[in-house]
Every structure is written in C-alpha cells, then in structure tokens.
Amino acid sequence: MGRKNNSGNKQGKAMKYMIKADIKVNGTVQRKDIIGAIMGQTEGLLGDDLELRKLQRTARVGHVDVEMETKGGKVHGMILIPSSMDNVETAIIGSALETIDRIGPCQAKISVIEISDVRATKRTAVVDRAKELLLALVNSGEAASKTVVEEVRSVLTVGTATNFHGLTCGPNVQSSDSLIIVEGRNDVINLLNCGVKNAISADGAGNIKQELVDLANAKQSVTLAIDGDRGGEMLFRQLHAILKVDFVAQAPVGQEWELLPQKTITKTLSMKVDASKFAKTMKAQDKEDEEKHGGSNDEWVEDMSEVYESEIAPAEIQEMFDHQDGLGKNKAMFILSDGTVSEEMGAGSIAKSAAGTEGVQALIINGPISDRIQEIASEASISTVVGTKPGKGFDAKSDAKSWFSETHR
C-alpha cells in the first residue's frame, strides 16, 4: 500500500537534527496508526509553539517516517523525525514521544535512542552526490520529456476540482443535497475521474475544519468513504463524533479510494451501510482488541529486542544484489548450484526457464517480488528469491526466502 501525504508540507529548511526513537507495540498496527498517534497524542502537550502539525507547516519539523516489521502479533520499529530547530527544542519534541503509551487499542512503548546532527554527514556526501547528479543530468532528456507529458495530462483530472475553505472538493459539494467525505485530495481526484462530483477531502486525521462540520450538518445525506484499513476506521471514529455521518462506504480490505477502479467505486458506494451499524461493528472490534491486547504490565516488551534494526543480508546475498544491479528493469537471472549464472531473461520467460533448468538455487529479479514470482520459485524448488521490494500479493510465509535490495543491502 502506498502512503499518502495530503498535508502539502514542504521541507523548505535545512534539517539539522534527526530524532531516532525505538517503538514497540503489543499488537498489529500500521504506519499511519503510529504517525496518527504521534500527531494526536502530542497535540496540546507542549503548547502552540511546539505543536507538531504547525511545526511541519512551517518546515521546522520534516516528514515523520516509521520503519517497522510485524512478527508474532507485535510490531517493532524505528521512528525518524528530522528537525531544523535548535537542540533544546528538538530534545523537547523527542521527550514528548515517550509519553505515548497506546497506539489505537494496543499498548505501546517508545524510547528515544539518539538525536543525531545530520549536517556533518551531509557535508561528507556532497562530492559523491554531485558526481551522481552530474551523470544523471547528462542522461535526463527522456525523463524531462516524460514529466512534461504527465503535467499536461494532469489537466484532464484536476481541471474540475475546486476548493472549499482550503479543502479539495468536487464542483457540486455545495449545490448537492448529498455529500461524500473522503480522506485526502487524491481520493477526490479519483472520484472526479469516475464522475462523482460531490466529494470533499477531510484533509486526513487531525484538526477537522469547522466549515466542513457546518457543510456536512446542512446536508440531507452524508456518506463517509474510508480506506479499507485501520487508518480509515480511525477517521470514522473521529468524524462520527463531531459531524453528521449517515452512511459509511469502506473500500475493500487493504485498498485505498485514490486507487480504486470505477467499477469498484460504484459497487462500494452502492453497498454503503448505516453509520450507526458501522459504529456498533467498530465497538465490538474494540472490545475484542482490548481483550486480546489489554492489560497494564510491560511483560510483552521483554520478548522483543532492545532496539529495532533492519535485517542485513549475508555476504552471499550481497553478491546477488551486485548481480541484480547489472540487470535491466524487471529482467531476471538464475544462480545455479555450481555457482554459475544464467543469461538475462524477461519476466515473461522466468516460469518456462525455471521449469527447464536443473539445479537453480536462487532467482534474481531487478523488480518487485510478486505472488507470481513466489509461485514460480515454489514450483521449481528455488530456495532463495532476490528482488528490489515486496510486490503485488507478496506473502512473507512463502517457502522461498526473499531478500530485498531496498531494505536488506
């Protein structure tokens, strides 16, 4: 799932420090749950001058990132927050993170590991990065032309979008008797592409504008269209408490409104449910989560490592990453039992080649590892698969061990 960034923030100031905090959660949550908890639970704690959302709007704090993995029903990860403030203010922000003890219904424990000065590291990287940029500039003609085409094409999708007190919306949000509230700007654009012109963005979780509350309360019918994940359910809880919501249309599990095809959008809106019924379902889920993850002791923390660290691939896999670098995009090759390598092949030839080649120990592809790649590896008894990142339908429980150059190098 792709990550949204509907805030429009731009990191316009040079970042001086990086806050690194270890996070442990006694339950299964997503990145947006953790980021939402950071924003929501620190709001009002330090006063207006150190309110995280305001600091991001003024580029004094950069994008909050979370690296994490889920194992055994628990989440372990690292929170990364860049700061352009002075060391005292940055330290205060870091200490505020440690006051967070729950993420949704789950217990959580956050510990700041370090606050590092990123400027020294940047200085040492300037020369090497300048060389890379120069080489990229020489070969940038094609990329530049593609950007122009994309910008011109975007007129077709955003031309009918309008603005309501800073919120992206369709042209009919004020004149229509019904209203559809979505999470972000891209959701509105996708609905416009499908002919739905009465949708408006809530601009994500956070401070909901009073103008949106007044608009919704004046409509005959209000439908809340949420993503098929915990983040969408959290948005429902927030909006249902402060404005009129008559119906809820939830995207299929794991999917987002900004990516839904027209057929799915039409079906999902037609299958909307009463908000009161949806609220009862959420209440039952909350009770189940409390029974599963409740309690006040910290024994669950002791079962997890002290500090989260991404798994680094062993030397033999690092050598396979080197082979991957020499492949064309979405091209593949085999490592055989005697250590020799096969010829480069296209993605469409992998299955046939794997079935006709003896002693294949590893499959290397310069692209994502999808469920189809895993299926091919399983059928050919290939024990190791190397790709760039998880792809469509990737299953971490597959027979073949998977390694990703983007995270394991």
Alpha helices in 174-242 (DSSP H): 185-193, 210-217, 230-240
Residue 172 and residue 255 in one domain: yes
The whole-angstrom separation of Cα 77 and Cα 307 is: 8
Query: Are the C-beta atoms of residues 226 and 183 closer than 8 Å to each other?
Result: yes
CATH code, 169: 3.40.1360.10
Judgement on whether residues 254 and 343 belong to the same structural domain of the protein: no
Q: What pLDDT sits at residue 272?
A: 93
Question: What are the two backbone dihedrals, phi and then psi, of residue 92, each rounded to the nearest 5 degrees?
Answer: -65, -45
Strand order in the sheet with 360-365: 332-336, 360-365, 384-387, 401-404
Instruction: Mean pLDDT check: name the lowest of 62-71, 91-100, 285-294.
Output: 285-294
Q: Which residue among 277, 307, 341 closes a domain?
A: 277
pLDDT category at 122 given cuts 50, 70, 90 is low
Q: Give a yes or no: residue 140 inside a domain.
A: no
CA distance 147 to 354: 38
Per-residue pLDDT band at 409 (split at 50, 70, 90):
confident
164 and 265 share one domain: yes
CA dist 21 and 98 (Å) reads 9
Return the percentage of the chain with pLDDT > 70, whole number.
Answer: 83
CATH number for the domain harbouring residue 328: 3.40.140.20
Question: Are residues 273 and 336 both part of a single domain?
Answer: no
Contact indicator for 332, 386 with CB cutoff of 8 Å = no
Q: Are residues 163 and 241 in the same domain?
A: yes
Q: Please report which confidence band the pLDDT of residue 395 belongs to, taking 50, 70 and 90 as the band edges.
A: confident
Q: Which of 42-51, 266-275, 313-322 has the highest mean pLDDT?
A: 266-275
- Spell out a b/e string for 72-109, using b for 16 or more CB atoms within 10 Å of the CB, else e: eebbbbbbebbbbbeeebbbebbebbeebeebbbbbbb
Angle at 370 between CA 367 and CA 375, to 5 degrees: 125
- pLDDT, position 225: 95
Can you tell me which residue has the tokens 């620190």?
Answer: 42
Residue 293 in any domain: the answer is no
Could you report the per-residue pLDDT of 203-260, keeping only the tens digit for each? 765 578 889 999 999 999 999 999 988 788 888 988 988 899 999 999 998 898 988 9
Q: Which among 120, 146, 171 is the end of a domain?
A: 120
Q: How many domains does the chain have?
A: 3
Domain-located, residue 300 = no
> pTM for this one?
0.41
User: Which amino acid type is present at position 392?
Assistant: K
Instruction: Identify the domain containing residue 56 by its residue range.
Output: 17-120
Among 5-9, 17-21, 405-409, the minimum mean pLDDT is found in 5-9
Residues 340, 232 share a domain? no
Angle, CA 183 vertex, CA 181 and CA 188 arms, to 5° = 70
pLDDT in tens, 128-165: 677 677 666 665 555 455 455 545 544 444 447 888 98
- pLDDT per residue over 170-216, tens digit each? 998 999 999 999 988 889 988 988 888 899 998 765 578 889 999 99
Q: Find out whether 65 and 5 touch, Cβ atoms under 8 Å.
A: no
Instruction: Please check whether residue 173 is in contact with residue 198, taking contact to mean a CB–CB distance below 8 angstroms.
Output: yes
Distance CA(146)–CA(69), nearest Å, equals 35
400 neighbors 350 (Cβ within 8 angstroms): no
Instruction: Report yes or no on 309 lying in a domain.
Output: no
